[in-house]
Each structure stands twice: as structure tokens, then as C-alpha cells.
């Protein structure tokens, strides 16, 4: 099952949904024109132009392209990562997370005080939105973990 959330404040509930196997997506606003999908191959755009009121049918290829373009431009998905803080940029509220699986990704803390920024070398867990229009994860929840110090090299 897929769930789309936007500015949903109950992080604990979102995390439970994600860990239960739901595909959790973040919507960043509605499209300018209303779009109705009847599957990946058929759809309609609701026209708001007074000269052409009503529905405009989308061909199979156009509906599929529009669907994927909307997903790519407007949405992201929830991710849960653990790893070590490799570096940080206090001015931008950013830190680089080196995940346990070897992936390096920049994370942005929103609405936090400078004291909540993890230090370089700390092990943390992040629950974040990975939006498809930016390579920076938008952190929803940050947890400090106890563990071994990272191996330098």
C-alpha cells in the first residue's frame, strides 16, 4: 500500500507505517491542474480554461509520462538510515552521513537549534524524506546511537 503525507506532524506514527512495510511518500503540493488517473495508462486533465471546460483525455503514453513526471518533481519517499557523521556545515544546518551500508548523503535539520546538530564522528539514526528534486535528505527525526567509534581511513 502507498501512502502520501504532507506536513504530517506525528513522526512516531509515520515511522511505524514505514517500518511496517508501507511505501511512504511525501507530497509537496498539488499539481496546478487537477489530474485524474485511471491506472498508469489512462487519465484525464480537468481543464480550468473557460474556453475548454471539462476533461481532456490523455493518451496511454502521455498519461504514463505525466504520472512519472509528477512523481519525480513533486514527491519523495521516507528513508531510515544509520551511520556516522562524516562532516557538517553549521551555517546551512547540514551534516554528511556515512551510512552503515557505505552510502554518503547530506542531511538537513529543519527548525533545530545549533546544539542539536550531531558532532563529527557521532553515530546517529535518521528518519528523513528523500526528495527526488534535491540530493539532500530532509530530516524528520534524528536519534543519537551508542556504538563503536568509526574506523578512520
- Topology at the third CATH level for domain 78-145: OB fold (Dihydrolipoamide Acetyltransferase, E2P) (2.40.50)
Q: Which residues does the chain have with pLDDT short of 70?
A: 1-2, 28-74, 111-115, 147-153
| Dist CA 101 CA 79 (whole Å) | 13
What is the domain partition of the chain in residue ranges?
2-76, 78-145
| Dist CA 127 CA 111 (whole Å) | 15
pLDDT tens profile 62-101: 666 666 666 555 577 889 999 999 999 988 889 999 998 8
| Dist CA 96 CA 105 (whole Å) | 6
Strand partners, 80: 127
pTM of the predicted model as reported, rounded to 2 decimal places: 0.62
Query: Chain-wide mean pLDDT for the chain?
Result: 76
For residue 149, the model assigns a pLDDT of: 46
Amino acid at each position: 500500500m502507498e501512502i502520501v503525507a504532507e506536513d504530517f506532524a506525528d513522526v512516531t506514527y509515520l515511522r511505524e507505517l514505514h517500518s511496517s512495510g508501507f511505501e511512504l511518500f511525501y507530497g509537496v503540493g498539488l499539481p496546478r491542474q487537477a489530474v485524474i488517473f485511471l491506472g498508469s495508462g489512462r487519465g484525464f486533465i480537468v481543464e480550468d480554461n473557460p474556453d475548454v471546460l471539462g476533461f481532456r483525455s490523455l493518451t496511454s503514453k502521455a498519461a504514463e509520462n505525466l504520472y512519472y513526471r509528477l512523481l519525480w518533481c513533486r514527491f519523495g519517499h521516507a528513508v531510515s538510515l544509520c551511520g556516522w557523521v562524516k562532516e557538517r556545515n553549521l551555517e546551512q544546518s547540514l551534516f554528511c552521513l556515512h551510512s552503515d551500508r557505505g552510502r554518503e548523503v547530506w542531511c538537513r535539520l529543519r527548525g533545530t537549534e545549533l546544539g542539536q546538530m550531531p558532532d563529527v564522528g557521532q553515530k546517529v539514526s535518521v528518519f528523513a524524506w528523500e526528495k527526488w528534486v534535491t540530493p539532500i535528505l530532509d530530516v524528520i527525526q534524528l536519534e543519537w546511537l551508542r556504538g563503536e567509534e568509526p574506523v578512520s581511513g
